[in-house]
């Protein structure tokens, strides 16, 4: 079916008390696995790629256009409502490249920006995007991050303040708002964050756009459900999916088969297909946590 506007999808999720997952992908196998999971669960889904951990030179020279085209084709062939997000672009210039590439939603990674730049550049992006009927996700606040050695850097984290959220939404006219409420980026261990459900409720009552929770990889199911009940309508997951895919790759590479079958054959021994199957299972599990199954 045709790609569905992100605001329409999130409006239904907000009204009905569930959340839609943005499941970040990085190649054709992972993109297909996410769409397949959504079809199996009869769930609306947001697919796309992100700039936060990517080679920005490659993204701007080729990657954004390539993945925009691929995502558009997958959305057209999908049997469930699908939106396409270019997530966490490095800056306004990079985000703008996503406007003509096939994505129908874009977001900049603005953590650490000064307030004036945050407002000015987000306004510019919203103005350019809305002319093409493309949605913009904004963010206020900053997430703590887990390093590769498992340490949490809380010095970069800043909880979203209600007054700032209100001002940001009023001035920029973003279509949805990502907030920092104790969620953490890049969690790969058994570390458990503490989500401030009351803060979510306060922001939900103060702004008129759907709320987004990044850092879904490290948020356990019980806290996720509480966050959704408090007003979260979209959850971003990336790191957990790469972990599942990577484990599937490692298991497949130990089989010792013909490399012609192992890589790109799409036959049962294809390690990428086996890895995608593990990713598919995790996405389906998360959709059930988010309550989006059966909502397509």
Domain assignment present for 237? yes
Domain assignment present for 255? yes
d(CA 197, CA 32): 33
Q: How many CB atoms lie within 10 A of CB 280?
A: 24
Domain assignment present for 35? yes
Domain assignment present for 162? yes
d(CA 182, CA 157): 8
d(CA 225, CA 292): 12
DSSP secondary structure code for residue 230 in this structure: H
How many Cα atoms occupy the beta-carbon half-sphere of 220 within 13 Å?
Answer: 8
Question: What is the structure's pLDDT at 153?
Answer: 67
Domain assignment present for 276? yes
- Please, what are the averages of pLDDT over each run of 10 residues along the chain (296 residues)? 95 98 98 98 98 94 98 98 98 97 97 96 98 98 79 77 98 98 84 92 98 92 97 96 93 79 90 96 98 98
pTM score, whole prediction: 0.96
Residue-number span of the structural domain to which 18 is assigned:
6-290
CATH number at residue 276: 3.20.20.70
Residue spans of beta strands (DSSP E) within the chain:
20-24, 45-50, 82-89, 105-108, 135-140, 144-146, 152-153, 176-179, 184-185, 211-213, 232-237
d(CA 218, CA 286): 12
Q: How many CB atoms lie within 10 A of CB 128?
A: 16
Number of domains in the chain: 1
Question: What is the structure's pLDDT at 154?
Answer: 66
Domain assignment present for 1? no
Question: What is the structure's pLDDT at 146?
Answer: 78
d(CA 77, CA 29): 15
Separation of CA 132 from chain center: 21
Domain assignment present for 295? no
Domain assignment present for 242? yes
């Amino acid at each position: 079916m045709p790609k569905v506007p992100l605001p329409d999808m999130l409006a239904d999720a907000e009204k009905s008390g569930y959340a839609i997952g943005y499941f970040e992908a990085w190649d054709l196998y992972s993109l297909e696995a996410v769409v397949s999971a959504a079809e199996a669960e009869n769930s609306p889904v947001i697919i796309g790629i992100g700039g936060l951990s990517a080679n920005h030179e490659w993204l701007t020279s080729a990657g954004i256009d390539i993945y925009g085209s691929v995502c558009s084709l997958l959305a057209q062939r999908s049997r469930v409502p699908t939106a396409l997000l270019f997530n966490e672009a490095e800056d306004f210039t990079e985000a703008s490249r996503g406007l003509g590439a096939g994505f129908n939603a874009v977001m900049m990674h603005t953590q650490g920006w000064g307030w004036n730049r945050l407002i000015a550049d987000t306004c510019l992006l919203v103005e350019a995007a809305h002319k093409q009927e493309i949605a913009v996700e904004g963010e206020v606040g900053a997430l703590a991050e887990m390093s590769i050695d498992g340490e949490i850097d809380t010095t970069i984290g800043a909880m979203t303040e209600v007054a700032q959220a209100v001002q940001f939404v009023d001035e920029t006219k973003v279509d949805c708002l990502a907030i920092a409420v104790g969620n953490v980026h890049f969690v790969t261990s058994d570390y458990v964050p503490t989500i401030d459900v009351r803060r979510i409720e306060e922001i939900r009552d103060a702004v008129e756009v759907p709320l987004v929770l990044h850092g879904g990889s490290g948020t356990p199911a019980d806290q996720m459900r509480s966050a959704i009940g408090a007003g979260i309508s979209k959850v971003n997951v990336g790191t957990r999916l790469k972990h599942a895919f990577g484990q599937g790759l490692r298991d497949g590479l130990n089989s010792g088969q013909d490399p012609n079958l192992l890589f790109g054959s799409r036959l049962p021994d294809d390690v990428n297909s086996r890895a995608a199957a593990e990713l598919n299972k995790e996405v389906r599990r998360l959709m059930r946590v988010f309550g989006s199954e059966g909502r397509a």
